[in-house]
Structure 1
Amino acid sequence: MDLDIVALSRLQFAMTALYHFLFVPLTLGLSIVVAIMETVYVMTGRPIWRQMTKFWGALFGINFVLGVATGLVMEFQFGMNWSYYSHYVGDIFGAPLAIEGLMAFFLEATFVGLFFFGWDKLSRVGHLATAWAVAIGSNFSALWILIANGWMQNPVGSAFNPQTMRMEVTDFGAVLFNPVAQAKFVHTVSAGYVTASMFVLGVSAWYLLKGRHIDLAKRSMTVAASFGLASALSVVVLGDESGYLSTEHQKMKLASIEAMWNTEPAPAAFTAFGFPDQQARETHFAVHVPIVMGLIGTRSLTTEIPGINQLVENAKARIREGIAAYDALQKIRATGSTAAIPPDARRSFDDVGHQLGYALLLKRYVDDPRQATPEQIERAAWDTVPGVAPLFWSFRVMVAIGLFLIAIMATFFVLSARRTLDRRRWLLKIAVYAIPLPWIAAELGWFVAEFGRQPWIIEGVLPTAAAVSNLGAGTLLLTILGFALLYTVLFVIEMGLMLRGIRKGPEPDREPPATLVAPNSPLVAAE
């Protein structure tokens, strides 16, 4: 039953997180695209750019509202479904989320109102400032959330306190400048920029196919193709950085993505195709590309990438050290007083306490890890291997979509430079049908990042199975069904509003005079 609760808790959070992430990339990217369009309007004074800003800004607003609503649900889930996780790491994980709310979300939420209702009340430059404040706030919000998530992937700047049984911050600067968090941030926001660019490109292509709003569509496609191409190329570069950091901080995730069962001589080959078999612990019909994985994963020709089998052996050694840490922890807790802690117990815990999380993996099989048998240690070590086949294929589909999007953006960038965007209708149709692809790639990316971390909710520190709340399976099933129903309704509303706005198109927009003159003014009399 405990495993059922863990699986259901994971299913509920995965469902709500992946649904929420349908809105995040478009919010991140469209906020920048809209700000760029308004910048051009302020610089040129041409009304078409104001019309473009208002049209795409309206679609941004619909997406923004539903993104906020679905994001709030996830905040509450930490306390409801993952109470021990919240207790264990709340001092660290809660800080970036609190800063995100106070510093970024309030900035974004405040200026989004001024953006929509301040067109005729603010100067051009003043309104432009609100557009960029919304864009900066949206992206700044993602920064703090990804700092929190990055710490889960690479828990730096923290230490476990055996007296309080909680993780505590030892260096907030290390948490803030965690290389994994920084790489995830730039990679994620770049993916959001590609998503928004593809959305603008596809919708604009649809207008050209229908022969509607030609001027707006062509200009929008030019912005989207230029911004999207730069963003798509940066996604590749920043994704390479994430892979390189995984070699250092999440070796098992990288080995599982590559279905690399055994350590190969450096430089390792990249498995372009194959069918991973986790039971047989081999990859059938594998097609290897020599040297490539070694260059991507280590940026050298001499550094080995450890395989799954070797990493499992390393996990066994860590579990044994974790058992020693667990024994020392029990001796410390038995004293009940800091002054009475036996020096040998404290010394032992300081030496191997960083491996305590590996001992907690045994809780799945035995109440007291110190009583674990060699067979249970073996099973716990193999638990550190996530699902290889889902990771293997998710990563490759994501990469294939990314390369396809680069080709689309580059093609339309060239067409926009030649002013021939509407010459090839088959390309316009491809752009329309390609609108969902960035979302698919983004969702697969998050799946690889989060599923690849299993069985850890905090890498090497706290197993997912130990982090859940003490809830009944019936309660979880009921909430899952409730969320599924609610989110289906929200999805229908979102799609209905977005499609209605796209079909309606931009409204005629006339900029008010820069200076209003009273009827009895001397200027009027002079005229």
Structure 2
Amino acid sequence: MPIDSLVVDLSRWQFAATAMYHFIFVPLTLGLSFMMAIMESVYVMTGRSVWRKATLFWGTLFGINFAMGVATGIVMEFQFGMNWSYYSHYVGDVFGAPLAIEGLMAFFLEATFVGLFFFGWDRLSKIGHLVVTWLVAIGANFSALWILIANGWMQNPVGARFNPDTMRMEITDFIAVIFNPVAQAKFVHTVSAGYLCGAVFVLAISALYLAKGKHIELAKRSMVVAASFGLASALSVVVLGDESGYVATEHQKMKVAAIEASFHTEPAPAPWTVLAIPGADGTPIWQLQVPWLGGLITTRSLTEELDGINELVARADERIRSGLVAYQALEEIRADGNAEARAVFEQTWPDLGYALLLKRYRADVENATDAEIAQAAADTVPSVWPLFWTFRIMMGLGFFFIAFFGVWFYRASRGWIETNRQFLWFSVFTLPLPWIAIESGWFIAEFGRQPWVVEGVLPTFYAASGLTVLDLVLSLSFFVLLYTALLIVMVFLMIRTVKAGPKDKFLAADDEDDFVIAALPKTPVTQELGS
């Protein structure tokens, strides 16, 4: 069956557009949910209504973002059946399980308690409402967990095997799917990035209020919480990002080699390339490298080599040839259930996906030429330089946030929150940076996996539905216009809410004048909270 590359590209563009639009809302939901829970905890401990006011204000912004996240996320699941029908057939038994659990266990939990959060203030006790708020935060994280378990399986397909009788991947060990090291590393890294996003959001809006001299008491308290939470989150993002990179080195060697623009295997200890200039053939003509650091980052060793792209392509060539043996055995099994062919297939089926790479060039892959095999092996290399530069943008922003929140934490502990107007405005303009870093990370994870939709199992081009170019152009245009409109609506609502400022009809007029935190230990930070 011929593969229409334009149909595949348009299908990828459509899913990428909807996913990256959706991921504008997810990190802020994760971050604000915990910020709300922290602020309401202080309210319950102290009884001071300023913290209730803060919880309601940031909760309103959370609610707007949450609604948009739901609206943009639902469509993505329908695309698996509409745009990626063969993917759904081939791996749906595995991929569908964590998504179903996410909907039943996490999303319903989160959505139910979001309603109680907004409408339960006068119907629940303080402790009861606080529990609801924490369950909103926990539900958001559970939702992220199951989605990333599903995505992690696409990056490292453990706990499943191909059944030649059903022609589908099937789960053999669900515990292995849940505790997939790639999924767990992605989860902790992603949610930490979400926490950082929420902290930057709260800090930037609070800085705007302070710079304009509005809502000062609430802004100061929100900023202290954001500075503390943000510093912990920024440190976690970098540390857990290192763990995610190490796991990728174990399970996605080609992605790591592309990120490092490492075309040849580096002898141990491998250097780390800070900057590079690509030549006409794609290989670097100039590099600025730090000795040994590459080995420490990627392999955590000074004695292990960092595999290069050319050597990994040679291994892919070998796996394609092994996959052809599996493919031929599968054909014999389907023809007459040959027992000997089954034994051969059991030994070689993990390489079956590599044989499917040849479907781009011919339907009868068993007759592939050496040149076609070599071309299919070369196809396992993702586009190097977009990955190289995007990773360095993401990493640079990660270290920037550590310094940024470190300065704010120090200033907050010293009571210097309002003393530097220029730094307040600088903080306001950092607002877009978390999304740049987060979208960069998502791009690296998904674009770096190409040409696979499931690493080593199913090529992306082979997973698409048989839609027409017109179908995809119309649907892609519709979704881009719709999602852009939703984003504009969300930004408009956010701006209007921020301009209106925090409101709480239950806040006593003199409540902010005599605020103290009697329930917390006396530290510089808590003294600032109560000042």
TM-score (normalizing by structure 2): 0.94
Q: Is residue 83–residue 465 contact of structure 2 (8 Å, CA) maintained in 1? A: yes
Distance, in Å, in 2 between the alignment partners of 1:268 and 1:281 is: 20
The partner residue of 1:56 within 55, 58, 69 is 58
Distance, in Å, in 2 between the alignment partners of 1:318 and 1:75 is: 32
Q: Is residue 276–residue 388 contact of structure 1 (8 Å, CA) maintained in 2? A: no
The one-letter code of the counterpart of 1:223 is V
Tell me, yes or no, if structure 1 residue 126 matches structure 2 residue 131.
Answer: no
Distance, in Å, in 2 between the alignment partners of 1:301 and 1:491 is: 47
Q: Give the equivalent residue in structure 1 for 2:464.
A: 468
Q: How does 1:8-19 map to 2 (within 5 A)?
A: 8-19=10-21
Q: CA deviation at 1:509?
A: 3.5
Q: Give the equivalent residue in structure 1 for 2:297.
A: 296
Q: Give the equivalent residue in structure 2 for 1:434.
A: 430
The partner residue of 1:195 within 171, 188, 197 is 197
Q: How does 1:58-457 map to 2 (within 5 A)?
A: 58-277=60-279, 280-335=281-336, 341-457=337-453
Distance, in Å, in 1 between the alignment partners of 2:201 and 2:283 is: 40
Distance, in Å, in 2 between the alignment partners of 1:322 and 1:183 is: 29
Q: Deviations over 1:266-312 (max 9, x none)?
A: 011000001234x6241122111110010011111101111000000
Q: Secondary structure at the match of 1:305?
A: coil
Q: Give the equivalent residue in structure 2 for 1:521.
A: none
Distance, in Å, in 2 between the alignment partners of 1:508 and 1:394 is: 43
Q: Deviations over 1:337-366 (max 9, x none)?
A: xxxx22221111111111000000000001
Q: CA deviation at 1:107?
A: 0.5
Q: Secondary structure at the match of 2:114?
A: helix
Q: Is residue 25–residue 192 contact of structure 1 (8 Å, CA) maintained in 2? A: yes
Q: Is residue 53–residue 507 contact of structure 2 (8 Å, CA) maintained in 1? A: no
Q: CA deviation at 1:404?
A: 1.1
Q: Deviations over 1:95-126 (max 9, x none)?
A: 00000010011110111111001111111001
Q: CA deviation at 1:38?
A: 0.1
Percent identity between matched residues is 64
Distance, in Å, in 2 between the alignment partners of 1:93 and 1:246 is: 20
Q: Secondary structure at the match of 1:22?
A: helix
Distance, in Å, in 1 between the alignment partners of 2:37 and 2:91 is: 37
Q: Secondary structure at the match of 2:273?
A: strand
Distance, in Å, in 1 between the alignment partners of 2:499 and 2:361 is: 57
The one-letter code of the counterpart of 2:239 is V
Q: Give the equivalent residue in structure 2 for 1:525.
A: none
The one-letter code of the counterpart of 1:304 is E
Q: Is residue 50–residue 507 contact of structure 2 (8 Å, CA) maintained in 1? A: no
Q: Give the equivalent residue in structure 1 for 2:519.
A: none
Q: Is residue 27–residue 60 contact of structure 1 (8 Å, CA) maintained in 2? A: yes
The one-letter code of the counterpart of 1:357 is G
The one-letter code of the counterpart of 2:356 is L
Q: Give the equivalent residue in structure 1 for 2:488.
A: 492
Q: Deviations over 1:437-490 (max 9, x none)?
A: 000100000000000000000000000011000100100000011011111111
The one-letter code of the counterpart of 1:399 is M
Question: Stretches of 4+ moved more than 4 A in 1?
Answer: none
Tell me, yes or no, if structure 1 residue 480 matches structure 2 residue 503.
Answer: no
- Unaligned runs of 5+ residues in structure 2 are 509-531
Q: Give the equivalent residue in structure 2 for 1:34.
A: 36
The root-mean-square deviation of aligned C-alpha atoms, in Å, is 0.9
TM-score (normalizing by structure 1): 0.95
Distance, in Å, in 1 between the alignment partners of 2:282 and 2:223 is: 48
Q: Secondary structure at the match of 2:261?
A: coil
282-291 or 438-447, which deviates more: 282-291
Distance, in Å, in 2 between the alignment partners of 1:281 and 1:48 is: 58
Q: Deviations over 1:59-90 (max 9, x none)?
A: 00000000001000101000100000000011
Distance, in Å, in 2 between the alignment partners of 1:485 and 1:344 is: 55
Distance, in Å, in 2 between the alignment partners of 1:276 and 1:95 is: 43
Q: Deviations over 1:477-517 (max 9, x none)?
A: 000110111111111100000000001100143259xxxxx
Q: Is residue 47–residue 509 contact of structure 1 (8 Å, CA) maintained in 2? A: no
Q: Give the equivalent residue in structure 2 for 1:518.
A: none
The one-letter code of the counterpart of 2:132 is T
The one-letter code of the counterpart of 2:16 is A
Q: Deviations over 1:27-65 (max 9, x none)?
A: 001000000000000001111100000000000000000
Q: Give the equivalent residue in structure 2 for 1:523.
A: none
Q: CA deviation at 1:386?
A: 0.2
- Unaligned runs of 5+ residues in structure 1 are 336-340, 513-527
Q: CA deviation at 1:247?
A: 1.0
Distance, in Å, in 2 between the alignment partners of 1:276 and 1:97 is: 40
Q: Is residue 96–residue 148 contact of structure 1 (8 Å, CA) maintained in 2? A: yes
Q: CA deviation at 1:415?
A: 0.6
The one-letter code of the counterpart of 2:359 is K
Q: Secondary structure at the match of 2:24?
A: coil
